[in-house]
């Protein structure tokens, strides 16, 4: 189950092991408090209950970081994303923890893509987007 309070429109999730972008989050006003997540499929929005086993979070991996535009730097052993002109950059160590310029841990072990997207947006004020593997199926 994915915590809908961690998601935003534009977050990426896995739907049947395929990466999809969240296009809507609906919360039911009834006593059951069911949440539904809308995700993009073939230029439309399909909905699934947030508790569905079809929906899972996208785990962070080296391949995924490359597809997001991160580059691994051997000297500091960190993953770095291109820094916009008027803000800070995001760096991740080999354990996928966000680190500052002195390589001190700021956020420990970011496990999922949607959490990295939230951190990236809060620091860099721009969306972190996938291009290369967006519609591919992830295999374990």
Q: Are residues 66 and 53 in the same domain?
A: no
Structural domain total, the chain: 2
Judgement on whether residues 22 and 45 belong to the same structural domain of the protein: yes
Q: Is residue 49 located within the same domain as residue 68?
A: no
Q: Specify if 139 maps to a domain.
A: no
pLDDT at residue 86, rounded to an integer: 63
Low-confidence ranges of the chain (pLDDT < 50): 134, 140
Among 24, 41, 57, identify where a domain stops: 57
Q: Is residue 134 part of a domain?
A: no
Specify if 42 maps to a domain: yes
Q: Tell me which residue range forms the domain holding 34.
A: 4-57
Asked if 44 and 8 sit in the same domain, the reply is: yes
Q: Note whether residue 89 is domain-resident.
A: yes
Is there a single domain that holds both residue 70 and residue 38? no
φ, ψ at 63 (rounded to 5°)? -60, -45
pLDDT digits (tens, 9 = 90+) for 61-87: 999 999 998 999 998 899 988 766 666
pLDDT of residue 140: 47
Last residue of a domain, one of 38, 57, 76: 57
Classify 40 as helix, strand or coil. strand
Residue 135 lies in a domain: no
What global pTM score does this model have? Answer: 0.84
Q: What Cα–Cα distance (Å) separates residue 30 from each residue in 26, 35, 53?
A: 12, 10, 22
pLDDT at 101: 79
Residue pair 21/67 in contact (Cβ under 8 Å)? The answer is: no
């Amino acid at each position: 189950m994915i915590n809908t309070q961690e998601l935003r429109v534009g977050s990426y999730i896995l739907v049947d092991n395929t990466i999809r972008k969240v296009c809507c989050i609906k919360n039911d006003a009834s006593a059951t408090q069911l949440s539904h997540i809308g995700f993009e499929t073939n230029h439309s929005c399909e909905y699934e209950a947030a508790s569905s086993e079809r929906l899972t979070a996208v785990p962070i991996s080296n391949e995924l970081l490359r597809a997001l535009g991160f580059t691994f730097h051997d000297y500091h052993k960190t993953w770095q994303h291109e820094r916009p002109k008027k803000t800070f950059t995001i760096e991740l160590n080999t354990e996928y923890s966000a680190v500052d310029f002195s390589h001190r841990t700021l956020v420990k072990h970011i496990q999922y893509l949607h959490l990295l997207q939230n951190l990236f947006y809060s620091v860099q004020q721009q969306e972190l987007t996938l291009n290369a593997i967006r519609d591919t199926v992830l295999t374990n």
